[in-house]
Structure 1
Amino acid sequence: MSDFINKALSKKNKDDIGILQNSLGIGISKYAKGDGTDETAKVQSGLNDASGKIIIFPYGFSFKVSTLTIPDNTIIFGYGSKIYNTTTHQTILSLGNNVKIYGLEIQGAGNSSYNELGRGIGILGNYNSSNSTIDYKSDIYLKDCYIHDFGGHGVHAEYAKNIKIDNCKIENVGYSGVMGLSVLNMHVINRTHIKGISPGNTYSYGVIFSRRADTNSLTQYPRSKDCSVVGCTVEDNPNWEGLDTHAGENILFANNIVRNCKIGIVAVPSQLATVDDYAPLSPKIVNNIIYGIGTGVGITVSGALTATNGTPAGYASNPVIHGNTLNECGIADDQYGGALIIKGTRNASIVGNSLRDNYVFGINIYHTNTGFTVQGNTIQDARSNTYTAPSAIVVRADYNYGIINGNSLIKVGTSFTEAYVSTRGIFINLTTNVDVEVGINYNTFTTPVRFSSHGFAVDSKKLYSSTIPTSGLFTKGDYVENINPSELGAVGSKYILNGWKRMTTGNSHVLNTDWFEDRGLTGN
């Protein structure tokens, strides 16, 4: 059997699919003609007769249907064939367990307006309230399918596990390309292309792994877990997000392209009645390319926050944000935004990302982040028309504890029209409940390091810059290491300026009064 299937899959042409049908399969053409009438009953009869077998939708035919139920253990080949209903919003295919669908086109009633009923494929398990258990729908494989023009979702799965969506195309959907609610081991992979998500219902998503917000019971509505989107493209969702998880655990977004979406990739909490309840756990956002449109964040990770900074209902623990490329991300003139934002996180690792032409801030360590590492990132330019201090890296508010080290902060800024460009390299905005170690960073922004005008001192008492500070409160004994040393002075008394030693406590910054040069003779 596998030889016939593999041959049909490799060529996907009419002749080989015909051979497959004659040898192993049951052809839907024995039941329905594709004559433009509603043939739901005829097609369903064929599906029932072929339950557990291979079913062939014939090449070059289109079948008008209402909701069809695919029996368990059934394989569908649909290359060159289409099923559709362009008049009524509904679920076109409802899948059983262990179902595989290859190459079928599925068309709905359009996405000119949002309609939750409009779904290309539905995969729905069941919660048994009498014994608090879940009967998962499982083992679904969709390959090379084309799903388009639905008011709600391309693929909608709830209480489902072991799902793969492989090299599919999903276009023109009203709310989401793929939605997984309380799903396990669901993967969107291998060049799946999701495009045209609108108009949404306030929100809209390319792919989302989440849980229902009807109650805060993790028994009834567990987290989505061990899911991924890898090697795919999501584009044209200007109203909301490309890739999303709400309260997901071990969710991976890797090697994707997100283009023309308001917000690129997010890992945020679920909510009950607009109140955060469960934070995402161990999200991984790696090696993605995000093209922003100046209206939203490129990447954001958030814990379950409360009204008071520093006391989250739950931290977003161990987020990994590595190797991503962000272009023109952030919100123009939003002084609390940025291309990459974290808040309410524990042990966040932000490493090796490339951010270019950012709006207001490159990386925004907003508030309530403990144990973060920002290292090895390259950030080129930050800009704003109204906010006077666009910065590469900002520690924006309080309850932030971590390390900023080994980053390259580069001011180019020759073609921007904004009034303020790359003003500050590293900006520590507050002093209260902030403990940030600022290491050695390559920094060509106008002011490499700026502390709050209210005063700030790094606990290690050692800072790094190419000049003495111009603002902030410092204590006698503090030290600024020169990050751009060179040999200075006349022959016979040449020296290297190693840095500057603080000799007073206060917020004045006069050379040879408050700060004294630390010179080392070279012997030249």
Structure 2
Amino acid sequence: MRPTSDRPPLLSAERDATGPAGRAAAHPRPGRRAFLVGALAAAGARAVGAARRPAAAVAAGAAPATMPAPTVVVAASSFPTVAQALAAVPPGGTLLVDRSEAIASPLIVDRSMTVLFAPTVRLTATAHITMIDVHASDVRVVDAALVGAGTSRAASGKGVVATGTATAPLERLSIEDCTFTGLSHSAVVATSVVGLEVVGCRVDDVGYAGVVLVSCTDAVVRGCTVADVRQPAGFVNSYGIAVTRDETKSLVDSPRSARVTIDGNTVRGVRLWEGIDTHAGQQIVIRDNTVSGCSVGIAVVPCQNDATPQEYVYAPVDVVVARNHVERGDSPGTGSGIVVKGAGSTVASGAERASAVVEDNVVVGMGGGDREAGVLLYLTRDVVVRGNLLSGCVGRGVCLYHSNDATMLVGNRVEGVVLAAGATVAAAVEVRSSANTATLVGNSYAPGSHLPGSAASVRGVAVPGSGNVLDLLRNDWTATVLPVWGRSSTITRFADGA
């Protein structure tokens, strides 16, 4: 991942125009409202099996140049229950959920179809169930409003679950503009899905997570809002959006999630754990998101293996974290803004190292723990941290904990570091332990008199550990009390400002 120019190219996960986002841009689907008008018109006749004209033709009153295949629309109001209506939908058809209902068992989608909810209609679970359970490719869930049985305890209530396998993945699943609330586990859980789109969804008041992708590839989570992930007793962690694999299985049976883009989302109120996460993801792009009120903002971390469940074996690789805004907000306690961590645990571990670009992010008020910071790295290789603004972070702006090889810190601005509890001095950049090699170019520190609690005593680069090798070039530490402080490490300064 080491750049060959001053700004490395985007990774393939970000530039791949053949993935779901690229295909959507090249072939925009008809507007959902036009589709709804057409579906309602067809369903109004209550003629199950009648062909619906294309949505664009219904809306415009003229046939399009290319006629897609006719779609059979089945209205839930024509049947005693929505489950019975679902059973009547042929492959490729549409279930129009046009009546609110309470359900006690999952709706099983085992063939290609669209599940479309009419305005103001909702389904309410009377137990902690999976509400829509997808076992087929080419499925769309549009405008669904799903209400769970509550989040007072850890349970298995989920909104939409889609499950494939490594050898038989599902393909082309789209979950659009849906709302989820009161689910005791998660809103969306997708396992082994290729070409997943979760777009414009709103999640509020869930127990474990908003959106979870397990061994998914060529996927996008875009424009969603996840708020108030409770993590009640019984859950040891929680997430806004997570891209991961099943650690209890082998890498063959549960491979890495890969080529996933998470962008333009808002995550707030994961107060006890992580806003956005990838465990051992490959070519994951996390960009243009707003994360607030979370213990940790964005976590790019390793995962375990079934054969060695107590060891971190697989690192996240080729990850981009760019243009996100991460802020402490109302989350209690401490936690880093952005974490990049590889596999292993010991200093200089030979396990797989994490690789990433962390660029143009704004991190406000994060850090506070023993090694926590605005940006925290350990067990990494060739990570580039560039152009970030770290404002009002607690203890340190950037922390290189241990075992970071060939790290580049370029053009980052740290302002107004706040003293951690019990500390007498803070640092713009801290090299905490050992076995770090890094180059720092054009970074700077500015006082934060406008920020509450800003420390008066801030060092530019603090190196309390030993066995580190650092090259410093043209950084600006003028506003610090001591530009560079260290012991038992090799620190070379080239035209490095005071």
- For the residues of structure 2 that align with 1:258 and 1:430, how far apart are their CA atoms? 32
Is 1:327 the equivalent of 2:371?
no
1:299-338 Cα offsets, whole Å, 9 max, x none, are 000000233x012411002x0100100111112xx33221
Cα pair distance change 1:61/1:335, threshold 3 Å: closer
- For the residues of structure 2 that align with 1:278 and 1:241, how far apart are their CA atoms? 19
1:97-123 Cα offsets, whole Å, 9 max, x none, are 1101111111111111111x2111110
- Equivalent in 194, 215, 227 of residue 226 of structure 2: 194
Q: Is the 8 A contact 1:305 1:311 kept in 2?
A: yes
1:441 Cα deviation after fit? 1.3
1:225-275 Cα offsets, whole Å, 9 max, x none, are 111211111111101000001111111111000011111001100024332
Is 1:263 the equivalent of 2:296?
yes
Amino acid at match of 2:424: T
Cα pair distance change 1:372/1:410, threshold 3 Å: same
Q: Partner residue of 1:314?
A: 352
Q: Partner residue of 1:300?
A: 339
- Equivalent in 20, 26, 31 of residue 74 of structure 2: 26
Q: Partner residue of 1:112?
A: 152
Q: Where do 1:9-20 residues align within 5 Å?
A: 9-10=32-33, 17-20=39-42
Count of residues paired in the alignment: 434
Q: Partner residue of 2:372?
A: 337
- For the residues of structure 1 that align with 2:303 and 2:371, how far apart are their CA atoms? 22
Amino acid at match of 2:160: I
- For the residues of structure 1 that align with 2:209 and 2:41, how far apart are their CA atoms? 37
Q: Is the 8 A contact 2:478 2:497 kept in 1?
A: no
Q: Is the 8 A contact 1:270 1:279 kept in 2?
A: yes
1:56 Cα deviation after fit? 4.3
Is 1:152 the equivalent of 2:185?
yes
1:386 Cα deviation after fit? 1.4
Gaps of 5+ in 1: 33-38, 128-133, 467-524
- For the residues of structure 2 that align with 1:245 and 1:20, how far apart are their CA atoms? 43
Task: Give the TM-score normalised by the residue count of structure 2.
Answer: 0.82
RMSD between superposed Cα atoms in Å: 2.1
Q: Is the 8 A contact 2:101 2:124 kept in 1?
A: no
Q: Partner residue of 2:258?
A: 225
> Which secondary structure does the structure 1 equivalent of 2:271 belong to?
strand
Q: Is the 8 A contact 1:123 1:157 kept in 2?
A: yes
1:103-148 Cα offsets, whole Å, 9 max, x none, are 1111111111111x21111101135xxxxxx211221011111122
Is 1:100 the equivalent of 2:140?
yes
Structure number with larger C-alpha Rg: 1
> Which secondary structure does the structure 2 equivalent of 1:18 belong to?
helix
Is 1:181 the equivalent of 2:211?
no
Q: Is the 8 A contact 1:411 1:444 kept in 2?
A: no
1:414 Cα deviation after fit? 5.3
Q: Where do 1:52-71 residues align within 5 Å?
A: 52-59=91-98, 61-71=100-110
Deviates more, 1:217-226 or 1:340-349: 217-226
Cα pair distance change 1:422/1:324, threshold 3 Å: farther
Q: Is the 8 A contact 1:303 1:312 kept in 2?
A: no
Give identity over the alignment, percent: 23
- Equivalent in 401, 405, 422 of residue 386 of structure 1: 422
- Equivalent in 18, 24, 30 of residue 6 of structure 1: 30
Amino acid at match of 2:88: D
Q: Partner residue of 1:477?
A: none
Gaps of 5+ in 2: 1-28, 45-50, 53-72
Amino acid at match of 1:6: P
Q: Partner residue of 1:205?
A: 239
Q: Partner residue of 1:513?
A: none
Cα pair distance change 1:369/1:415, threshold 3 Å: closer
Q: Partner residue of 2:7?
A: none
- For the residues of structure 1 that align with 2:391 and 2:296, how far apart are their CA atoms? 16
Cα pair distance change 1:16/1:63, threshold 3 Å: farther
- For the residues of structure 1 that align with 2:35 and 2:150, how far apart are their CA atoms? 28
- For the residues of structure 1 that align with 2:276 and 2:42, how far apart are their CA atoms? 37
- For the residues of structure 1 that align with 2:450 and 2:162, how far apart are their CA atoms? 52
Q: Partner residue of 1:244?
A: 277
Q: Is the 8 A contact 1:393 1:426 kept in 2?
A: yes
- For the residues of structure 1 that align with 2:451 and 2:85, how far apart are their CA atoms? 63
1:450 Cα deviation after fit? 2.4
Is 1:75 the equivalent of 2:110?
no
Q: Is the 8 A contact 2:86 2:95 kept in 1?
A: no
Is 1:289 the equivalent of 2:325?
yes
Which structure's residues are more often strand, by fraction? 1
1:390 Cα deviation after fit? 0.8
- For the residues of structure 2 that align with 1:83 and 1:53, how far apart are their CA atoms? 23
Cα pair distance change 1:338/1:11, threshold 3 Å: same
Q: Partner residue of 1:511?
A: none
Amino acid at match of 2:90: S
- For the residues of structure 2 that align with 1:157 and 1:414, how far apart are their CA atoms? 44
> Which secondary structure does the structure 2 equivalent of 1:358 belong to?
coil
Amino acid at match of 2:483: V
Deviates more, 1:351-360 or 1:293-302: 293-302
Cα pair distance change 1:448/1:72, threshold 3 Å: farther
Q: Partner residue of 2:58?
A: none
1:151 Cα deviation after fit? 0.7
Q: Partner residue of 2:170?
A: 137
- For the residues of structure 2 that align with 1:68 and 1:81, how far apart are their CA atoms? 19
Task: Give the TM-score normalised by the residue count of structure 1.
Answer: 0.78
Is 1:88 the equivalent of 2:127?
yes
- For the residues of structure 2 that align with 1:152 and 1:375, how far apart are their CA atoms? 40
- For the residues of structure 1 that align with 2:118 and 2:370, how far apart are their CA atoms? 51
- For the residues of structure 1 that align with 2:145 and 2:117, how far apart are their CA atoms? 7
Q: Partner residue of 2:446?
A: 410
Amino acid at match of 2:380: T
- For the residues of structure 1 that align with 2:469 and 2:118, how far apart are their CA atoms? 59
